[in-house]
Amino acid sequence: MNIHENISLKKLNTFGIDASARYYAGFSTIDEVCQILSESKFVNSRKLILGGGSNLLFTKDFDGIVLKNNLKGIELVKEDVDHYFVRSAGGEVWHELVMYCIANNYAGLENLSLIPGNVGASPMQNIGAYGAEIKDTFYELEALHIQDKTIHKFNNAECKFGYRESVFKGELKDQFIITSVTFKLYKKPIFNTSYGAIEKELEVMGIKELSIKSISDAVCAIRKSKLPNPAEIGNAGSFFKNPEVIRSKFEALKTEFSMIVGYDLENGNVKLAAGWLIEQCGWKGQRFGDAGVHKLQALVLVNYGNANGSEILELSQKIIASVKEKFDVDLVREVNIV
Ligand code: FAD
Ligand code: EPU
């Protein structure tokens, strides 16, 4: 077990921010991380659990220890008449788990293809895309309590999943390391093409017979056409959440801004497309030094090379202020600020 000192995190976060970590260690077993956590110099220091670094913005150097989750392994743990129960270690790459499930005909994760990051982070914000969220197929997870070093199990209800939310971002923030996640997947697929763009893409691809593989292919194609690839330009996906407003507020906005984009929610409220709001404020494609707003998707802030985290954060503050001024709507950041 190697503990490194003062290392650059630039290659370990998809924003490509050049912050450094006072201490850094990877762990491949639970014993290994317990040993690190027990070292006297780390007992009271700050800890950051790192997966793929695709939902983080470092605004300064990290003065504690960064612990990189390298736990590996995917297994079919049980099955019933209708389901496969598949457990993945937290350090597995999310998209590789999705590909493994598709190859084995385990249905349910295909709409979530190509989301960057690791399995261990997927419950943190209940990752979602193209009409699905992990809460739809999540069965349980195991997590190590950082203070007392015991393993706890959380079922779906205990995770308190919401839109880009879970108990681990809320009341249990910074208390657990998610070590494995088990998904309850279908033997007989339930194809979910409710998200309009999927239907269109399947048509373009000339797909006549649906399969979990063809849905995954369509989702991958849409994502590649819409979202910047972090290997080419630094970003962490959507920087803000799509805000929820009450219906009367939406109706009032609609009289003034007839093109406003909103989606009806089950609770009667409306979810607004933050990308539209930001674009209407004139931010899309704007660049300030190396910090900018993506030219095709205004919800994505980008680092053209050497922006630092404070510049990106400052840009996000200006965007929040202008959306508030024009629409009286509060944008909330989705990305974790460190
Ligand atoms: P990291 O960025 O490493 O960590 C994120 C947070 O989780 C941090 O607070 C970290 O401390 C904590 N954490 C990480 N691992 C653990 C663990 N094992 N235990 C406890 N805490 C942990 N997200 C979506 O929901 N839908 C999308 O469609 C989507 N598209 C994206 C597109 C792009 C191009 C990019 C760059 C990002 C996108 N994201 C999307 C965001 C991101 O992919 C997800 O949030 C992903 O789950 C982050 O995983 P990660 O391993 O990179 O987490
Ligand atoms: N729009 C604009 N201008 C823009 C961007 C978007 O007007 O610059 C409008 C368009 O009308 C479009 C609508 O916003 O129809 C929605 O855009 P899109 O389909 O691209 O989705 P999104 O709401 O911007 C959300 C998620 C993504 C997820 C996609 C697909 C959030 C915060 N973002 O984006 O998740 O991949 O839907 O399901 O919910 C992420 O979380 O990092 C992420 C990328």
Per-residue pLDDT tens digits for 196-241: 799 999 999 999 889 999 999 999 999 999 999 999 999 999 999 9
The DSSP secondary-structure symbol of 156 reads: T
Q: Which atom of ligand 1 is nearest to the CA of 143?
A: 19
CATH of domain 4-69: 3.30.43.10
CB 332 within 8 A of CB 240: yes
Ligand 1 centre from 100 Cα, in Å?
Answer: 20
CA dist list (Å): 173 to 118, 134, 169, 176:
18, 19, 5, 8
Identify the burial level of 271 via C-beta atoms within 10 angstroms of its C-beta, where 0-12 means exposed, 13-18 middle and 19 or more buried. middle
Instruction: Give the model confidence (pLDDT) of 143-155 as tens digits.
Output: 999 999 999 999 9
Partnered with residue 103 across adjacent β-strands are none
How do strand 20-27 and strand 4-8 relate by DSSP bridges? antiparallel
The catalytic residue among 54, 88, 113, 164 is 164
Q: What is the mean pLDDT of residues 299-317?
A: 97
pLDDT at 244: 97
The catalytic residue among 238, 244, 311, 316 is 238
Instruction: Give the model confidence (pLDDT) of 187-197 as tens digits.
Output: 999 999 988 79
Annotation: CATH topology of 74-186: 3.30.465
Residue spans per domain, the chain: 4-69, 74-186, 234-337
Instruction: Give the model confidence (pLDDT) of 21-70 as tens digits.
Output: 999 999 999 999 999 999 999 999 999 999 999 999 999 999 999 999 99
**pLDDT at residue 109 is higher than 80:** yes
Alpha-carbon distance 168 to 156, whole Å? 13
Q: What is the mean pLDDT of residues 174-186?
A: 98
CB 20 within 8 A of CB 38: no
CB of 334 closer than 6 angstroms to any ligand 2 atom:
yes
Pocket test for ligand 1, best of 33, 115, 142, 241 (most atoms within 8 A of CB): 115
CATH of domain 234-337: 3.90.78.10
Q: Residues 69-74: contacts with CB within 8 Å, 24+ apart?
A: 69/26, 69/27, 69/118, 69/120, 69/177, 69/179, 70/26, 70/27, 70/28, 71/27, 71/28, 71/29, 71/30, 71/120, 71/179, 71/180, 72/28, 74/100
pLDDT at 194: 85
**pLDDT at residue 273 is higher than 90:** yes
Instruction: Give the model confidence (pLDDT) of 326-335 as tens digits.
Output: 999 999 999 9
Q: Express as a percent the part of the chain with pLDDT over 90.
A: 97
Alpha-carbon distance 9 to 20, whole Å? 5
Specify whether 334 is catalytic: yes
- Atom 28 of ligand 2 has which residue's CA nearest to it? 129
